C-alpha cells in the first residue's frame, strides 16, 4: 500500500493514505454498500465537495429565483446613468442599485449579472450534458465494439469535426429561429443548446473512445468477458466507470467554454438576445469598454469563472469518490 | 538545474519576440524627402479594381490613387477642379457637353490617354450585360435605355435578361483624340459635378482585351501605379513619375495593409508599425481616448458626408400614417444618445441633408426632430391605427447594437410601447430583406454622398421608386417638385427648388433623420502635412513623410 | 499497421466528399442574397446581380454547383472569389501562416500543460495543485480577446508582420493555446492519478527504478492517451478557429479568412478551406490513433 507514495518524489502525498484507511474500515460495519453509497459517504467529508456544492446551490437559486437576490428590473434602461462606475457603498443593501455600476445603456449591472445566471447556466449545463450523453455513447460504442462500427462512427464524426462552428451555428440558428420571426427566448435557447451539441459531440466521442480503448484491455474487463458477462453489463459495470474520467474533465471545463461561446453567437446576431440576459451577452457588450469601463465585463466574467470553478471542483470530487482505485 | 534555467529560457524567448515584433517601430534611417513610403490600414476590396465596378470605399481609395478622371474634388471643400479635362463646357444650357482633355497624359503602360478611352470605358460600364456596379451612373446620358435590358422576372428567376438593343450610348461621340461630346437626356447643370465620381474614369485599350485580368492588375493614368498586390495581405502602389496632373505625390510608395480588426490597426498606428487609420475603433472614442493617445497634432475629428436615418415601412398599417412617423421621431432623444453612446462624435440631425452639401439648409425638420416625450406621446395616441410591431432591424456584423438599443429604449420610454432591436447576422441578409420589402418594422439606413450636392440626398433616397428608398416612400407633390428642380438648368435656381422640396418633408416624415457622422482619424509621427478630404480619405497628393 | 493506415487513408475519400457537400449545402442554405449587400445602402443594379449570379453559377441546382466545384478541384482549380482573386492564391498564403501558429500553440499547451499536469498529479491536493487549477480555470473563463488585448497592451506589441516569421508568432501562439491549457493540465493530472496505482508502476518502483524514470517512462507514457487525443483535436480547431487571436495580432491566417468568407457567402473559399481542414483532421487523427499503439502496446490494430 505504501509503494505509490515512494514513487512520489516529494513527501507531499501524505494526506492521501488517510482516506483509504477510513473507507476501508467503514464498509465493514454495515451491510454491503453500493458504489453510490460509498461515494456519498466519501463526498460528505471532502471540503472541496462541500464548498463547491454550496456555491452551485447558490447559483442554482440565482438561476431559479433571481428576484431573491435583486429587486431591480434588469431591463430598466436610463441613458442618463450610462457608464456609472460601481458604488461600493451600496453593497449588501438590498433594493439599492448600482452595486456593480451601470452599463452603456444605463442598465443595472448587478441585476443583470444575477438575471444572467439562468440563461448561462442552463445553456452551459444542458449543452455539456447533451454532449456527454451523445458523444459518450458514440465513443463507447466505437471504442468497445471496434471494427466497422468504429470506422463508421469515427468517420461520421470527422465530417462534423471539420465543420466551422460559426458556419454551422449561423445556418442552424438562422434556419430554425430567423430574426425576422422574433422567435421566443425558449426557442432560441434550445436551439443554441442543440447547436453546441450538434457541433461538439465528435470531440467528446473521440475522448471517450480513447479512454475505452485503453480500459477494455484491462484484466478485469477480460475477466468479466471470460465469465460470460453480456456486453451491456461489461460496458456499464466495468468499462464506463473506469473510462469516464477524461470526459468528465473535458465536460466540466467545456461548461465554461460554452458559456463564453454563447457570447460569440450573440455577437453574430444568432445567439441569445434581448430580453434574455446572459453572462455571455454582458461580456460581449463590455468588450469595447475594457479600458474605460472594465466593470461591465469584470463582474459577469468573475461570476462565470466562479461558476465554472465550482462545477470543476464538483466534477473532480464526484469522480474521485466514484473511483474505487483512488480510495 | 544546472546551466540554463527554464526561467532564463522563457525570458530570453520573450525578449527575442519583443525585439522582433517591435523592430518595425524603430525609426527607419532618415529617408530623403520625396522618397519616403508609408502604410495605411485597409481591407480587401470587394470587387475587381475597375473604376466603374467599384462602389465601396476600400476599393475606391486605391482606384483614386491609380486613376484620374476628368475632374477632382478639392480636398478642402470638395469644389470641382479640372484634372484630366482641360474644360467641360455646354453651349446649349446643359444638354450637350463638350469635354476637352489635357494633352500629353499617359497610361502607366506608356500609351496616351485619349478621348476614345473615356467613350469606350463609359460605353462598357453602361452596357448592362457587362454587369458593372456603377452602370446606373450613366443613366442621364442619351440612349441609356437602349444599352440596358431588364430581366423580365427578376435576377433570381430562370428567365434571363434579353440582349439590349444597342451596345453603345447614343449620347457619346469622339470628336478627336483630345475631345469628345456628351449629349444628355435632358439639361442638367449638375453633370460636371457628377463626373468627378470614379465611375466616370477612363480605361486603357488593354482593359478590353481581358477585363478580368485587368481587375487584378489595373493599369491607370493616375498619380500612382500598382506595384504589387498580395491578396488578403497588402497592396503596394508606387509613384508614377510621368504623371501630368497638378496633384503630384510627394511620397514614393504607399502600402495598403489589410487589417481584420480595427483595434489591431489602431495599436499599430500607435506603436508606429503603420501610419494611418481613417476611422478609429469606437472603443477609443469613449472618454476621447484617441486624443490622449495621439494628441491634437496626430489626430483629427472631422464631419463627413454621411448620415444615419431610420427607414419606415410606409406600406404597413400604422407606419403609413405621418403622425405615427412624426411621433416616433420626436420620441428619440438624439442629443442624449449622441452624448452617451457616441461621445459626441455625431451631430444630431434636424433635416434630411448633410451639412457638407451644396444647398444645405439648417433646421429644416424643425420640431419633429426635437425630443419631446409628452408631445410625442400625445401625437402617437391621436393616431387611429398603431403599428403592429415597433422594432428596428439592423445588421449585426457592424457596431450598430449600442445605438439601436438606445434609440429603442428612448422610443419605448417616451411612447410607452415595446421596441426591440432586431440584429440580422450579416449585411447581405439585412439588405435582402430591406430590398424585398419583407421588413415588419423599421430598419436602420445610412447614406454617404456620391457627390457634394443636396440633390444626392433627395432623388436617390426619397423619390418614388428610387434605388435607396428603403421605406418605399411615395408622394406625388414631392416627386413633382424634384422633377421641376432636376429640369432646371440654372444651378442656383435648381438648388432653391431642391430646398423647397426638402421643406415639404417634415409634414410627410418619409424617414427619420438621426445624426450626421464625423470621422476620427489618427496617424503616426512619420506623416507630416496630413489633409483629410471631405470624403474622409487621406489626400495622397499632399501627404509628406518625415 | 501499414494496412490499417492505408485503409484509414482510403476512408478519407468518403469523409472528404461528405464534408465538402455538407459545407456546400450549408453555405447555400445561408439566408440572404450574396450580392444584396455589396452596393452599400444602395440597391444593387439588377444587371450586376444577374452578371455575378451567372458568372458563379449560383442559379444552378445545388448538386450541379457542387459537381462543378468538385470537377474543377480535381483539375487543381479552386476557382475565384467575387473580387476575382484566385482562391488557390489565398490558400497558399494563409495556410502556412495558420499551420505555424497552430503548431506553436499546440507545442506551448503541450509543454506547459503536461508539465503542470505532472506537477499537480504527483502532488494531488497540495497548494500547487489548487493554484494551477484556479489559474487554468481563470484562463478558461476569461474570454480570449481579453487575454489577447491585455497581452498586446501591456507588452506594447506590434502586429505580426505580413511574412509571419515564427518568432513573432510565439506570443500569439501562447495566447491561442492558453484556452486549452486547462484541458491538457487536467487530463494529464487525472490520468496520472489513476495510473499511479497500476501494477506496472508498483513493479517499476519495486524494481528500484529512480522516481523520475518511473514517472517519465512508465507513468507518463501510459497517461498520455486522452492528452494526445485532445492535442490532435486541437490542432485542427486552432487552425480554423483562431479568429480572435488572428484579429488581435492581424495574422493573415485561415481563421479570419474563413469567417470573412462565411459572412460574404464566398462558398468556394469556405468549402476549399474546410476541405483542407478536414484532411488535416483525418491525418492528425490517424497519427493519434497510431500513437495509441505506441503509448499503450496492448492496443492493437488489425
pLDDT of residue B282: 84
Chain A residue with minimum CA distance to C213: A7
Measured between CA atoms, how close is B54 to chain A, in angstroms?
27
Q: Which residues in chain B show pLDDT less than 50?
A: 1-32
| C107 contacts on B by Cβ (under 8 Å) | none
| C83 contacts on B by Cβ (under 8 Å) | 44-48, 59, 215
C-alpha span between B193 and B73 (Å, rounded) = 9
Number of domains in chain A: 1
Chain B residue with minimum CA distance to A183: B422
Restricting to C residues 30-59, those with a Cβ less than 8 Å away from any Cβ of A are 30-31
Is the pLDDT assigned to residue C302 strictly greater than 80? Answer: no
> Per the domain annotation, does A110 fall within a domain?
yes
Q: Count the Cβ atoms, other than its own, within 10 Å of residue A106.
A: 18
C-alpha span between B499 and B494 (Å, rounded) = 9
A15 interfaces chain C, CB cutoff of 8 Å: yes
ipTM: 0.89
pLDDT, mean over chain C: 86
A11 interfaces chain C, CB cutoff of 8 Å: no
Chain A residue with minimum CA distance to B282: A288
What tens digit of pLDDT does each residue of C224-251 get? 888 998 899 888 888 887 888 898 899 9
Distance of CA C259 to the CA centre of its chain: 14
**Element containing residue C68 per DSSP (H, E):** helix C62-74
Residue appearing with cell numbers 484507511: A21
Q: Count the Cβ atoms, other than its own, within 10 Å of residue B302.
A: 14
pLDDT of residue B13: 32
What tens digit of pLDDT does each residue of B129-143 get? 998 988 888 988 999
Torsion (CA) C172, C173, C174, C175 in degrees, nearest 10: 50
| B393 contacts on A by Cβ (under 8 Å) | 179
C-alpha atoms less than 13 angstroms from C-alpha of B247 in its C-beta half-sphere: 25
DSSP per residue over A299-326, as a string?
A: HHHHHHHHHHHHHHHHHHHHHHHH-GGG
pLDDT of residue C138: 77
CB contact under 8 A, A182 and B422: yes
Cβ B430 vs Cβ B424: under 8 Å: yes
Angle (CA) B213 B216 B218, round 5°: 90
Locate C252 and state its grid cell: 493573415
C-alpha span between B21 and B272 (Å, rounded) = 12
**Element containing residue B421 per DSSP (H, E):** strand B420-424
Locate C245 and state its grid cell: 487571436
Cβ A142 vs Cβ A149: under 8 Å: yes
> Per the domain annotation, does A303 fall within a domain?
yes
Cβ C1 vs Cβ C301: under 8 Å: yes
Optimal mutation site among B426, B430, B450, interface C, most CBs of chain C within 10 A: B426
> Per the domain annotation, does A180 fall within a domain?
yes
Q: Is A23 helix (H, G, I), strand (E, B) or coil?
A: helix
DSSP per residue over A72-130, as a string?
A: S-TT---GGGTTPPP-GGGTT-TT---TT-B-TT--BHHHHHHHHHHHHHHHHHHHHHH
| C270 contacts on A by Cβ (under 8 Å) | 164, 167
CB contact under 8 A, B429 and C32: yes
C-alpha span between C254 and C258 (Å, rounded) = 6
A166: nearest Cα among B384, B420, B151, B396 = B396
Cα diameter, chain C = 83
Q: What's the CATH number where A286 sits?
A: 1.10.3720.10
What tens digit of pLDDT does each residue of C48-99 get? 888 888 888 888 888 888 898 889 888 888 889 988 899 999 999 999 999 9
Residue appearing with cell numbers 456519498: A40
Please name the member of A178, A211, A309 whose beta carbon is closest to the beta carbon of C226.
A211
**Domains of chain C in sequence order:** 95-295 (1.10.3720.10)
pLDDT of residue C204: 87
Cβ B352 vs Cβ B511: under 8 Å: yes
CB contact under 8 A, A170 and C262: yes
**Element containing residue C11 per DSSP (H, E):** helix C2-29
Measured between CA atoms, how close is B268 to chain C, in angstroms?
6
Tens-level pLDDT at each residue, chain A (327 residues) = 333 333 333 333 333 333 333 333 444 445 556 666 777 777 787 787 888 899 999 999 999 999 888 888 898 889 999 988 998 877 777 667 888 999 999 999 999 999 999 999 999 999 999 999 999 999 999 999 988 899 899 888 888 887 878 788 888 888 888 888 888 888 888 988 998 999 899 999 999 999 998 888 888 888 988 888 888 888 888 888 888 888 888 888 888 778 777 766 776 666 777 778 888 888 888 877 888 888 998 898 889 888 888 888 887 777 777 666 655
Domain range for A149 is: 56-79+98-313
Q: What is the 3-state secondary structure (H, E, C) of B176-200?
A: ECCEEEEEECCCCCCHHHHCCCHHH
B373 interfaces chain A, CB cutoff of 8 Å: no
Instruction: For strands B511-523 and B276-277, give the pairing.
Output: antiparallel
> Per the domain annotation, does A184 fall within a domain?
yes
> Per the domain annotation, does A118 fall within a domain?
yes
Restricting to B residues 333-352, those with a Cβ less than 8 Å away from any Cβ of A are 333, 336-337, 340-341
* Length of chain C (residues): 302
Sign of the Cα torsion B143, B147, B148, B149 reads: positive
Amino acid at each position: 500500500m505504501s509503494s505509490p507514495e515512494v514513487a512520489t518524489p516529494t513527501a507531499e502525498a501524505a494526506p492521501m493514505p488517510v482516506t483509504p484507511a477510513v473507507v476501508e474500515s467503514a464498509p465493514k460495519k454495515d451491510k454491503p454498500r453500493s458504489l453510490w453509497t460509498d461515494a456519498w459517504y466519501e463526498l460528505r467529508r471532502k471540503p472541496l465537495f462541500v464548498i463547491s456544492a454550496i456555491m452551485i446551490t447558490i447559483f442554482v437559486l440565482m438561476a431559479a429565483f433571481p428576484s431573491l437576490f435583486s429587486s431591480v428590473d434588469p431591463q430598466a434602461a436610463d441613458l442618463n446613468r450610462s457608464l456609472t462606475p460601481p458604488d461600493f457603498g451600496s453593497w449588501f443593501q438590498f433594493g439599492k442599485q448600482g452595486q456593480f455600476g451601470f452599463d452603456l445603456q444605463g442598465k443595472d449591472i448587478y441585476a443583470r449579472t444575477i438575471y444572467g445566471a439562468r440563461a448561462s447556466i442552463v445553456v452551459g449545463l444542458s449543452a455539456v450534458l447533451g454532449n456527454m450523453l451523445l458523444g459518450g455513447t458514440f465513443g463507447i460504442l466505437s471504442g468497445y465494439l471496434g471494427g466497422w462500427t468504429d470506422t463508421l462512427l469515427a468517420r461520421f464524426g470527422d465530417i462534423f469535426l471539420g465543420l466551422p462552428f460559426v458556419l454551422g451555428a449561423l445556418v442552424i440558428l438562422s434556419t430554425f429561429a430567423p430574426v425576422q420571426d422574433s422567435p421566443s427566448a425558449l426557442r432560441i435557447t434550445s436551439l443554441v443548446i442543440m447547436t453546441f451539441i450538434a457541433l461538439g459531440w465528435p470531440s467528446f466521442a473521440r475522448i471517450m473512445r480513447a479512454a475505452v480503448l485503453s480500459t477494455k484491455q484491462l484484466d478485469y474487463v477480460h475477466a468479466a468477458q471470460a465469465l460470460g458477462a453480456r456486453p451491456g453489463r461489461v460496458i456499464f459495470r466495468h468499462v464506463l466507470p473506469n473510462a469516464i474520467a477524461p470526459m468528465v474533465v473535458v465536460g466540466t471545463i467545456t461548461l465554461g467554454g460554452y458559456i463564453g461561446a454563447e457570447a460569440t453567437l450573440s455577437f453574430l446576431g444568432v445567439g441569445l438576445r434581448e430580453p434574455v440576459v446572459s453572462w455571455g451577452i454582458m461580456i460581449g457588450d463590455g468588450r469595447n469598454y475594457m479600458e474605460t469601463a472594465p466593470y461591465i465585463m469584470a463582474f459577469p466574467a468573475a461570476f462565470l469563472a466562479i461558476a465554472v470553478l465550482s462545477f470543476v471542483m464538483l466534477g473532480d470530487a464526484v469522480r474521485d469518490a466514484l473511483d474505487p482505485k483512488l480510495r | 538545474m544546472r546551466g540554463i534555467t527554464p526561467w532564463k529560457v522563457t525570458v530570453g524567448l520573450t525578449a527575442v519576440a519583443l525585439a522582433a515584433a517591435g523592430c518595425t517601430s524603430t525609426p527607419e534611417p532618415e529617408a530623403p524627402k520625396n522618397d519616403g513610403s508609408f502604410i495605411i490600414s485597409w481591407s480587401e476590396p470587394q470587387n475587381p479594381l475597375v473604376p466603374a465596378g467599384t462602389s465601396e470605399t476600400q476599393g475606391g481609395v486605391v482606384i483614386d490613387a491609380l486613376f484620374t478622371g476628368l475632374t477632382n474634388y478639392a480636398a478642402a471643400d470638395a469644389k470641382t477642379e479640372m484634372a484630366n479635362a482641360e474644360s467641360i463646357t455646354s453651349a446649349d444650357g446643359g444638354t450637350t457637353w463638350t469635354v476637352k482633355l489635357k494633352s500629353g497624359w499617359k497610361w502607366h503602360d506608356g500609351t496616351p490617354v485619349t478621348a476614345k478611352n473615356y467613350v469606350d470605358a463609359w460605353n462598357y460600364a453602361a452596357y448592362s450585360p457587362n454587369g458593372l456596379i456603377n452602370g446606373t451612373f450613366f443613366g442621364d446620358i442619351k440612349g441609356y435605355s437602349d444599352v440596358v435590358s431588364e430581366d423580365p422576372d427578376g435576377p433570381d428567376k430562370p428567365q434571363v435578361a434579353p440582349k439590349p438593343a444597342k451596345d453603345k450610348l447614343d449620347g457619346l461621340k469622339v470628336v478627336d483624340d483630345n475631345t469628345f461630346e456628351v449629349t444628355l437626356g435632358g439639361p442638367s447643370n449638375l453633370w460636371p459635378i457628377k463626373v468627378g465620381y470614379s465611375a466616370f474614369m477612363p480605361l486603357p485599350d488593354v482593359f478590353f482585351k481581358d477585363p478580368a485580368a485587368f481587375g487584378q492588375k489595373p493599369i491607370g493614368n493616375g498619380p500612382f501605379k500598382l506595384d504589387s498586390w498580395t491578396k488578403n495581405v497588402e497592396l503596394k502602389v508606387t509613384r508614377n513619375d510621368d504623371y501630368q496632373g497638378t496633384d503630384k505625390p510627394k511620397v514614393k510608395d504607399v502600402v495598403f495593409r489589410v487589417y481584420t480588426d480595427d483595434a489591431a490597426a489602431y495599436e499599430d498606428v500607435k506603436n508606429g508599425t503603420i501610419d494611418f487609420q481613417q476611422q478609429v475603433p469606437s472603443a477609443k472614442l469613449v472618454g476621447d481616448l484617441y486624443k490622449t493617445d495621439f494628441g491634437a497634432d496626430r489626430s483629427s475629428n472631422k464631419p463627413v458626408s454621411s448620415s444615419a436615418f431610420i427607414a419606415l415601412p410606409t406600406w404597413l398599417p400604422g407606419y403609413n400614417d405621418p403622425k405615427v412617423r412624426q411621433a416616433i421621431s420626436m420620441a428619440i432623444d438624439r442629443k442624449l444618445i449622441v452624448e452617451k453612446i457616441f461621445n459626441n462624435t455625431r451631430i444630431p440631425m434636424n433635416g434630411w441633408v448633410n451639412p457638407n452639401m451644396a444647398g444645405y439648409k439648417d433646421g429644416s425638420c424643425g420640431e419633429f426632430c426635437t425630443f419631446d416625450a409628452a408631445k410625442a406621446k400625445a401625437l402617437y395616441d391621436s393616431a387611429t391605427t398603431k403599428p403592429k410591431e415597433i422594432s428596428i432591424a439592423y445588421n449585426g456584423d457592424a457596431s450598430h447594437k449600442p445605438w439601436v438599443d438606445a434609440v429603442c429604449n428612448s422610443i419605448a420610454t417616451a411612447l410607452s410601447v415595446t421596441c426591440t432591436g432586431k440584429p440580422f447576422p450579416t449585411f447581405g441578409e439585412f439588405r435582402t430583406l430591406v430590398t424585398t420589402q419583407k421588413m415588419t418594422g423599421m430598419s436602420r439606413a445610412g447614406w454617404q454622398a456620391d457627390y457634394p450636392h443636396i440633390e444626392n440626398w433627395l432623388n436617390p433616397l426619397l423619390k418614388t421608386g428610387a434605388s435607396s428608398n428603403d421605406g418605399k416612400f411615395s408622394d406625388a407633390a414631392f416627386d413633382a417638385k424634384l422633377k421641376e428642380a432636376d429640369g432646371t438648368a440654372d444651378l442656383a435656381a435648381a438648388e432653391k427648388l431642391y430646398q423647397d422640396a426638402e421643406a415639404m418633408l417634415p409634414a410627410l416624415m418619409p424617414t427619420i433623420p438621426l445624426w450626421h457622422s464625423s470621422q476620427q482619424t489618427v496617424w503616426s509621427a512619420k506623416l507630416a502635412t496630413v489633409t483629410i478630404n471631405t470624403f474622409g480619405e487621406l489626400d495622397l497628393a499632399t501627404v509628406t513623410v518625415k | 499497421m501499414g494496412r490499417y493506415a492505408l485503409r484509414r487513408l482510403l476512408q478519407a475519400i468518403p469523409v472528404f466528399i461528405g464534408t465538402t457537400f455538407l459545407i456546400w449545402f450549408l453555405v447555400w442554405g445561408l439566408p440572404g442574397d450574396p450580392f444584396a449587400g455589396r452596393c452599400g445602402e444602395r440597391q444593387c443594379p439588377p444587371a450586376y446581380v444577374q452578371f455575378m449570379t451567372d458568372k458563379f453559377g449560383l442559379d444552378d441546382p445545388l448538386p450541379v454547383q457542387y459537381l462543378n466545384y468538385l470537377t474543377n478541384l480535381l483539375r487543381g482549380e479552386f476557382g475565384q472569389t467575387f473580387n476575382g482573386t484566385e482562391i488557390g492564391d489565398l490558400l497558399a498564403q494563409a495556410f502556412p501562416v495558420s499551420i505555424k501558429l497552430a503548431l506553436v500553440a499546440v507545442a506551448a499547451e503541450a509543454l506547459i500543460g503536461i508539465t503542470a499536469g505532472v506537477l499537480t498529479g504527483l502532488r494531488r491536493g497540495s497548494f500547487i495543485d489548487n493554484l494551477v487549477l484556479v489559474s487554468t480555470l481563470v484562463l478558461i473563463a476569461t474570454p480570449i480577446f481579453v487575454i489577447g488585448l491585455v497581452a498586446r497592451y501591456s507588452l506594447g506589441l506590434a502586429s505580426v508582420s505580413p511574412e509571419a516569421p515564427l518568432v513573432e508568432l510565439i506570443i500569439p501562439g501562447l495566447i491561442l493555446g492558453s484556452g486549452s491549457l486547462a484541458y491538457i493540465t487536467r487530463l494529464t493530472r487525472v490520468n496520472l492519478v489513476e495510473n499511479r496505482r497500476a501494477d506496472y508502476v508498483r513493479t517499476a518502483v519495486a524494481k528500484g527504478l529512480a522516481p523520475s524514470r518511473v514517472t517519465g517512462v512508465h507513468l507518463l507514457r501510459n497517461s498520455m492517451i486522452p492528452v494526445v487525443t485532445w492535442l490532435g483535436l486541437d490542432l485542427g480547431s486552432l487552425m480554423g478557429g483562431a479568429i480572435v487571436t488572428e484579429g488581435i495580432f492581424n495574422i493573415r491566417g485561415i481563421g479570419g479568412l474563413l469567417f470573412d468568407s462565411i459572412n460574404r457567402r464566398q462558398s468556394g473559399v469556405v468549402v476549399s478551406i474546410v476541405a483542407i481542414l478536414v484532411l488535416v483532421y483525418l491525418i492528425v487523427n490517424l497519427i493519434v490513433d497510431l500513437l495509441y499503439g505506441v503509448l499503450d502496446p496492448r492496443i492493437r490494430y488489425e
